[in-house]
Amino acid sequence: MMGADLYVKGLPPHICGGEVSKKAAKAGYFRDCYNDGGLFANIGLSWWQMVSQFKKEGKLDDDGNLKPHFVSDFSKIVEDAFKASKVSKKKEYIEWMEVFRTFIKTAEKVGEGIEFSV
């Protein structure tokens, strides 16, 4: 299944295979699928558009990774979109957002930024 894979820079990418869990997020991995059931698809965001916008705004490093001091900006965009979405009350998406929040906390703690594989 195709999707966006995010890794916390500075941590070994040992979690793979599309696992979406708090365990994976704490280890520095987050995944969202591209299909109609995906988190971003249901909160009105696009991985490609977001990464393109971050690039235009200078928020990515030379390797295309989100710079550490923009992790909170990324989190706010996703949080705001989630709160305004139709799925904000659905258990499946609430749990997915909890995994995302855990991933963001890990990224902020490590302080090395986020690698996007989209």
- Provide the pLDDT for residue 2: 76
- Cα–Cα distance for residue pair 27/54, rounded to 1 Å: 24
- Provide the pLDDT for residue 40: 94
13, 7 Cβ separation under 8 angstroms? yes
- Provide the pLDDT for residue 21: 84
- Provide the pLDDT for residue 34: 86
Q: What is the mean pLDDT of the chain?
A: 91
6, 30 Cβ separation under 8 angstroms? yes
pLDDT in tens, 8-60: 998 876 655 566 788 889 889 999 988 889 999 999 999 999 999 999 999 99
| Domain regions of the chain by residue span | 3-117
Q: How many alpha carbons lie under 13 Å from residue 76 in its C-beta half-sphere?
A: 5
Q: Give yes or no for residue 94 having a pLDDT over 70.
A: yes
Q: What six digits make up the tokens of 25? A: 């997020």
Look-up: residue for tokens 């979690």? 15
pTM score, two decimals? 0.91
| Mean pLDDT across 70-93 | 97
- Provide the pLDDT for residue 118: 80
